[in-house]
Amino acid sequence: MTTTSPMTAPEHRRVSKAPVRHEPARRRRFKPGAGRQHHAGPFAYFALAVVGLGSLFPLYWTLVAASRTQDEILDTTPPLIPGGNLFNNLEAAWEQANLGKAIVNTVIVSSSITLATLFFCTLAGYAFAKMRFKGRGALMTMVIATLTIPPQLSVVPLFMMMSDIGWGGQLESVIFPTLVSAFGVFFMRQYLLEALPYELIEAGRVDGANNLRIVWSIVLPVARPAMMVLGMLTFVQAWNDFFWPYLALNQQNPTLQVALGQLSASYVPDQSIVMAGALISTLPLLVVFVIFGKQIVGGIMSGAVKG
Amino acid sequence: MATTTPTRGVHGSRPGRRAPKPMTPGRQAWRSRLWRFDDKASPYAYIAPFFLVFGAFGLYPLIYTGWIALHRVEMTGLDQMEWVGWENFSNILQDDEFWTAVTNTFVIGVISTVPQLMMALGLAHLLNYKLRASTFWRTVILTPYATSVASAALVFALVFRADGGLLNWVLGFFGAGETNWANGHWTSNIAIAIIVIWRWTGYNTLIYLAAMQAVPSDLYEAASLDGASRWQQFRNVTIPALRPTILFTIVISTIGSMQLFGEPLLLEGGQIGAQGGSEHQYETLSIYLYNYGWNLGHLGPAAAVAWAMLVLLLLIAAINWLVGRFMRKTAA
C-alpha cells in the first residue's frame, strides 16, 4: 500500500477544501482520488442522503419505540414520531434489567480497558516503530496474525480458567483478556513510524535520558493525537462488546449489553421497555460520537490504509 | 556518556554535545553497562504485556480447547474432566444441526459481505468527489458503528417482526406484507445479513475512501489523456489500486462473519434465539457453540465446535491466500 501521512484528520481537511484556485500556479503531485477533480453532482448527494437516512433511521426508531407502549409500536400502523411513555419505560427497564449496576460496570470495564490499552499499546508501538531488537519483524507479524483469531476459539477454557481463579462472573474476567489489543499496537506503531523523528529520541539520549524517560517526555507527547483516536475506538469497542461478556457475566453483575440481552430474553418481554434499555445503552456512545465523530472517522481512515 | 551513545539504538552520537558531568572510569563502565542493559531489555519489556496477555488469555486457551474437546466436562462441575476421546467430535460431525450451522454461517457470511463491500466501494467513490460537508456525510455513514450488536439486533428485530413489524408495514403498500421473516430459512438469513450490513458498511466505506485518497492523481490524468471515461477510470485505475485494501476488507469481514452471535441470538430472543430459531433456520456456529456449552451445559462438545471453527478458518485462510495469489498473477 502507498502510505499517506498517518493521521488523516489534517489530510482530509486539506483535500476536502482542495484549493482549486491554486491549481494552475502550483500543481500538487498527490492530488488525491478519482472523482476528486470533479464536483459531486446531484445524484451523489441524493444517494448519500438515502444512505444517511438508512444509517440514522434505526436509531431514531429506537427512540420512537422507547417512548411508546408495546401496543402502539406493534399496531397495524406503526407510529413514526415519539410518544409520551419514555419515562415510564426507562423506569421499567431500570428495574427489570439491573441497569444501575450495569451502567457502573460498563463504565468500569470500558475505562480500565481503554486506559490499559493506551498505555501498553503506546509502549509496544514505540518499541516496534523505533527500537531495534532481535526478532522485531517476526514478533510484529505475530501481533498482526493474532488479529485473525476469533474469541470463539478460546471461550470454553477461558470460562473454566476464570472460574478456577475465582473471577467467574466478575468484571476481571472481562477486563483482563482485553488489556492490550493487536490492533492498538499496530495502530500506534504506524503512527509513531512517521510522527516521531529519530532526531528527537537522539536528542533525549544525548541529554542522558534513559528509555523510560524518553517514553515519558518525548514519545507520549508526540503520540497524544493517535492516543486520543485509539482511546475512542477502544472505548466504543469495549462498551459494545457482547459475546464474551454475555458468556462470562450473569444477571447479578452484568454490563449494559449483557443486561440488554437478558432483558430481551426474559419471559414475554415488553418491546417498548427493551427499546428503552437499548436507548440507555446507546445514548452515551452517540454523544461521544457527535462530539468526536470527526476524529473517529479520521482514526478509522488512518488505521486501515497501510494494511 | 558520549562514548556510550554509538552503541545505543539505531543512531550515532551527535558530535559537539558533551555529557552533562565528567565521570570516573569505573563509574563510567558501570553506567555504560547499565545503559546497554536498558537498551537491550527495554524493547522486550515494552512489548511483553501484549504477549503475556495474548499468551494467557488467547493462545493457551486456544490450545487447551483442543484438550477439553477430548473430554466430558459439564457446566455443573467444571473441575471434573472425563476422557472420552474423539466422541465429541464424532457427535457434532454426525449432528445435522451442526451442518445447518455451518451452512447458515457461510450463507449469511456471503450475503452480508458481498453487498456490503460493493456498497462500501460505491459510497467511497461518491465521498471521494469534491463534496459539500464531506465530514458530515462521513460521520453520518459511520454512525451505526457506534451502536452495539445488542441494540442493533433488537431494533431490527422489531423492524422484521411478523405482525406489527415496520418492514412488513412498508411492504404492505406494495401488496407484500405477509412475510414471517424469522421463520423462513432464507428470509431469516437475509434479515441477519441486513443487520450486519447496516452496522459495517460505513466502516468499510471509510477504509476504501482512505485507500482511494492515496491513489496518485497522475494515474487518472494519464488515463483521461488516453480518453478513458470516468467509469473506465474507476474500473481500470481505482479498483486495481485498491486491490490490497479490498483483500484486507474481505479477510476482516470473513473473520467477522464467522463470529456472528448477537444478531441471531436476539432476532427472536429467549430460548428460540439460543437455538438459532425454532427450526435452527438461522443458527450460526457461535450460537451452536453457545447452545451446547452455556444453554445445555456440555462444554466438551462446545470445545469441539471451537476447533471445528478453527479448521474452517484455516480453510478460508488458504482459499483467501490462493485467491490473492491468483489476483496478483492476473494483475501481472
Q: Give per-residue pLDDT as tens, A191-220.
A: 999 899 999 999 998 888 888 899 999 999
| More confidently predicted of B175 and A122 | A122
- Contact residues, chain A, for B123 at CB < 8 Å: 47-48, 51
Is residue A161 less than 8 Å (CB to CB) from chain B?
Answer: yes
> Is the pLDDT assigned to residue B221 strictly greater than 60?
yes
> Is the pLDDT assigned to residue B3 strictly greater than 80?
no
Residues in contact with A104: Cβ distance below 8 Å, sequence separation at least 6, in sequence order = none
> Is the pLDDT assigned to residue A172 strictly greater than 80?
yes
- Measured between alpha carbons, how far is A224 from A228 in angstroms, rounded to an integer? 6
pLDDT tens, position by position, B73-101: 999 988 889 999 999 999 999 999 999 99
Count of residues in chain A? 307
Q: Minimal Cα–Cα distance from B324 to chain A, Å?
A: 14
As a whole number of angstroms, the longest Cα–Cα distance in chain B is 94
- Measured between alpha carbons, how far is B231 from B220 in angstroms, rounded to an integer? 12
Q: pLDDT grade, residue A12 (50/70/90)?
A: very low
Which of A181-185, B9-13, B52-56 is the least confident region? B9-13
- Contact residues, chain A, for B9 at CB < 8 Å: 130-132, 201, 205
Q: Kindly determine whether residue B289 and residue A52, on different chains, have CB atoms separated by under 8 Å.
A: no
* Residue A8: C-alpha distances to residues A125, A126, B82, B252 (Å): 19, 20, 55, 22
Which of B141, B120, B288, B148 lies closest to B208, judged by CA? B120
What would the 3-class secondary structure string for chain B be? Answer: CCCCHHHCCCCCCCCCCCCCCCCCHHHHHHHHHHHHHHHHHHHHHHHHHHHHHHHHHHHHHHHHHHHHCCEEEECCEEEEEEECCCHHHHHHHCCHHHHHHHHHHHHHHHHHHHHHHHHHHHHHHHHCCECCCHHHHHHHHHHHHHCCHHHHHHHHHHHCCCCCCHHHHHHHCCCCCCCCCCCCHHHHHHHHHHHHHHHHHHHHHHHHHHHHHCCCHHHHHHHHHCCCCHHHHHHHHHHHHHHHHHHHHHHHHHHHHHCCCHHHHHHHCHHHHHCCCCCCCCCCHHHHHHHHHHHCCEHHHHHHHHHHHHHHHHHHHHHHHHHHHHHHHHHC
- Measured between alpha carbons, how far is A230 from A236 in angstroms, rounded to an integer? 10
Provide the 3-class DSSP secondary structure of residue A39. Answer: strand
Tell me the ipTM for this assembly.
Answer: 0.87
Taking all residues of chain A, what is their mean pLDDT, rounded to a whole number? 86
> Is the pLDDT assigned to residue B5 strictly greater than 50?
no
User: Which pLDDT score, from 0 to 100, does residue B22 have?
Assistant: 58
Q: Kindly determine whether residue B303 and residue A302, on different chains, have CB atoms separated by under 8 Å.
A: no
pLDDT tens, position by position, A98-114: 899 999 999 999 999 99
* Residue B252: C-alpha distances to residues A268, B246, B256, B317 (Å): 37, 10, 6, 11
Q: pLDDT grade, residue B23 (50/70/90)?
A: low
User: Which pLDDT score, from 0 to 100, does residue A304 have?
Assistant: 53
User: Which pLDDT score, from 0 to 100, does residue B20 have?
Assistant: 55
User: Which pLDDT score, from 0 to 100, does residue A36 have?
Assistant: 53
| The dihedral formed by the CA atoms of A273, A104, B78 and B53, expressed in degrees to the nearest 10 | 130
User: Which pLDDT score, from 0 to 100, does residue B21 have?
Assistant: 57
pLDDT tens, position by position, A22-70: 444 444 443 444 445 577 888 899 999 999 999 999 999 999 999 999 9
Q: Kindly determine whether residue B270 and residue A77, on different chains, have CB atoms separated by under 8 Å.
A: no
Q: pLDDT grade, residue B204 (50/70/90)?
A: very high
Residues in contact with B315: Cβ distance below 8 Å, sequence separation at least 6, in sequence order = none
Chain pair A-B, CB pairs under 8 angstroms: 390
Which of B8-17, B73-82, B187-196 is the least confident region? B8-17
Taking all residues of chain B, what is their mean pLDDT, rounded to a whole number? 88
- Which of A69-83, A102-116, B3-17, B257-271 is predicted most confidently? A102-116
- Contact residues, chain B, for A266 at CB < 8 Å: 270
> Is the pLDDT assigned to residue A5 strictly greater than 50?
no
Q: pLDDT grade, residue A303 (50/70/90)?
A: low
Q: Kindly determine whether residue B126 and residue A61, on different chains, have CB atoms separated by under 8 Å.
A: no
Which residue out of A62, A144, A154, A199 would a mutagenesis test of the B interface target, given it has the greatest number of B Cβ atoms within 10 Å?
A154
| More confidently predicted of B332 and A206 | A206
Which of B32-41, B50-59, B208-217 is the least confident region? B32-41
pLDDT tens, position by position, B125-146: 999 988 888 889 999 999 999 9
Q: pLDDT grade, residue B16 (50/70/90)?
A: very low
Q: Which residues pair with B71 in a beta bridge?
A: B83
Q: Which residue in B has a C-alpha nearest to residue A290's C-alpha?
A: B139
Q: Kindly determine whether residue A124 and residue B128, on different chains, have CB atoms separated by under 8 Å.
A: no
Q: What is the model's pTM?
A: 0.87
> Is the pLDDT assigned to residue B2 strictly greater than 80?
no
Q: pLDDT grade, residue B265 (50/70/90)?
A: very high
User: Which pLDDT score, from 0 to 100, does residue A18 have?
Assistant: 43
Share of chain B above pLDDT 90, in %: 58
Mean pLDDT of A136-151: 92
Q: Which residue in B has a C-alpha nearest to residue A212's C-alpha?
A: B42
- Contact residues, chain B, for A208 at CB < 8 Å: 1, 19-20
Mean pLDDT of B308-329: 85
Backbone phi, psi, residue A188, to 5°: -65, -35
